[in-house]
Amino acid sequence: MTIVSLIAAVALTSAKLVVGLFTGSLGLLAEAAHSALDTVASVITFFSVRVAGRPADENHPYGHGRVENLSAIIQGVLLVGTAAWILYESIQRIFFVHVEVATSFWAFAVMGTSIVVDFWRSRMLTRAARKYNSRALEADALNFRADMFSSAVVILGLSLSAYGNAVGSEGFLQRADAWAALLVGLFIIGKSGQLALRSVNILLDLAPVELQERVARAAESVPGVLGTRLVRLRESGDRKFADIVVTVPRTLSAAEAHEITERIERSVREIDPGTESVVHTEPVMSESETAVEFIHAVALGMGLRTHHERVQRTGDRLEASLHLEVDSKLTLGEAHDLARRLGAEIKAQNPDLKRVNTHIEVAEPGPGERPEVTVEHDGLVREIKREVLEAGVEAVCHEVRLYRSEEGGLDAVHVDFPSSANLGEVHIRTEAIEQALREAHPQLERVVIHAEPREGAAR
């Protein structure tokens, strides 16, 4: 399309220049200069569109789209230079030098043809600019729409000059062509200034405020987002890039936080498919955070892991208890110092907690080799099943799995409970089973009671 526009610009420039020199019309010469710059602009647009279409690479991670904005600035600067010459010549002819303008049919024919061609080029480039969201093509289309207005002004000036020549007037009508050229020059300056300013704003990362507000609202509407702290937008050709910072409950897992970022990115694409988002989540305390979640979050914030967190009221104060996992290589003094600092931080963040009791234990090591040896201990399996029945907890053991660790311990018991049983009661019963098995078989390194619902279980 830019090639077709280029050919049309060359033809119009040549015609305006020839007729302008023949008639002495400054308006036509101004339009010839304007069309010449349009030719240069079309060449710039042709190459800038090709460069802007290149994909992102290692040195240009945001792509090459801003070449189009740079192209628009160059076009604006060239137009301002042309307009300055037109204004100078217009003022000379209006106030200081009288130039006879020989109007002819060809002058009107060239300018009429120019309006028709510019209308056709403007429509063609507008459709292409919308299809490809191209700033350079959009600038070209606006340029040609402006050319239609300036051509109409030149035709008006030529008409007034022709009328002045016919009636023998030596006042305004004799200088109408120069006045028309002056208007064209002023119009070019205004148009080129808007074009250049818009492109400069994009190169300086002037944020599109309306889109920025819509993106912020879309991010805040995603379930799990507590608020939006930052939305930054930048444009590069037909693409936009958004950096979004949102706050989420600090009790969320990494997978849950990632899912929220995915939802935010989808919501932004629904607003503007051409916007790519990078979402950063910041964990903060939420109003719905429970006391147990609070303790766990404080520990994670210090790089520590806890479990079995519990908060209870003792008299008129709250007390907390927890299990703190530490590295087995630490000394007791080092581990105690970690527990002390964790307790102090918990009480500092929640003054209602007056006491924090910490049980220090060694963190579970990574997965090791634990071969299953169930078939080697048939007698022990039968004993465990019998002891579960005799534990007085109304449960049936349907499976026992025994594993041997490096220390020689054995573990794992599967127990059936009624599916309608209360979960709290089931927990009490499993603890009773575990205690009974440990007392009967001290060699068991670890006992894992896996409770399963089954309608046929003991009641």
Contact at 8 Å (CB) between 87 and 174? no
Per-residue model confidence as pLDDT tens digits over 18-61: 877 777 776 677 777 767 776 776 677 667 767 766 776 777 66
Per-residue model confidence as pLDDT tens digits over 205-222: 666 778 888 999 999 999
**Quick check: 406 pLDDT over 70?**
no
Side-chain-facing half-sphere of 338: CA atoms under 13 Å: 21
Residues 172, 164: Cα–Cα separation, whole Å: 8
Contact at 8 Å (CB) between 45 and 67? no
* % of the chain residues with pLDDT over 90: 16
- DSSP letters for 339-361: HHHHHHHHHHH-TTEEEEEEEEE
Q: Which tokens belong to 287?
A: 């109003």
Residue with the two structure tokens 């600067």? 77
Side-by-side strand order, sheet with 239-249 = 227-236, 239-249, 275-284
Backbone φ and ψ for 195, nearest 5 degrees, come out as -60, -50
Q: If you average pLDDT over residues 76-95, what whole number do you get?
A: 77
Q: What is the pLDDT of residue 16?
A: 78
Q: Which tokens belong to 440?
A: 């009967």
Q: Which tokens belong to 43?
A: 């060449």
Q: What is the pLDDT of residue 345?
A: 93
Give the distance, in angstroms, between the CA of residue 155 and the centroid of all CA atoms in the same chain. Answer: 50
**Which CATH superfamily hosts domain 2-203?**
Cation efflux protein transmembrane domain (1.20.1510.10)
Per-residue model confidence as pLDDT tens digits over 115-174: 888 888 788 878 887 777 666 677 667 667 777 777 777 777 778 777 776 666 666 666
From the CB of residue 11, how many other CB atoms can be counted at a distance below 10 Å?
15
Residues 459, 273: Cα–Cα separation, whole Å: 60
Confidence of residue 450 (pLDDT cuts 50, 70, 90): confident
Contact at 8 Å (CB) between 322 and 343? no
Per-residue model confidence as pLDDT tens digits over 272-284: 887 889 999 998 8
Outline which parts of the chain fall under CATH 3.30.70.1350: 209-284, 291-362, 374-453
Closest residue by Cα to residue 144 from 26, 39, 14 = 39
Residue 204 burial by Cβ neighbours in a 10 Å radius (0-12, 13-18, 19+): exposed
CATH 3.40.50.2000 is the classification of domain 291-362: no
Q: What is the pLDDT of residue 459?
A: 42
CA distances from 303 to 214, 296, 307, 342, 360 (A): 37, 11, 14, 10, 15
**Quick check: 271 pLDDT over 70?**
yes
Outline which parts of the chain fall under CATH 1.20.1510.10: 2-203
The residue type found at 41 is: A
Q: What is the pLDDT of residue 432?
A: 87
Q: If you average pLDDT over residues 59-79, what whole number do you get?
A: 72
Q: What is the pLDDT of residue 408?
A: 59
Per-residue model confidence as pLDDT tens digits over 323-374: 999 988 889 899 999 999 999 999 998 888 888 999 998 876 666 677 888 8
The residue type found at 423 is: L
Q: What is the mean pLDDT of the chain?
A: 80
CATH 3.30.70.270 is the classification of domain 209-284: no
Q: What is the pLDDT of residue 390?
A: 81
Confidence of residue 458 (pLDDT cuts 50, 70, 90): very low
Per-residue model confidence as pLDDT tens digits over 293-334: 888 889 988 989 898 888 888 877 889 999 999 988 889 899
Name the class of domain 374-453.
alpha beta
Q: Which tokens belong to 118?
A: 């510019």
Per DSSP, what are the bridge partners of residue 325? 305, 361
Q: Dihedral (C-alpha) 19, 23, 25, 30: value to the nearest 10 degrees? A: 20
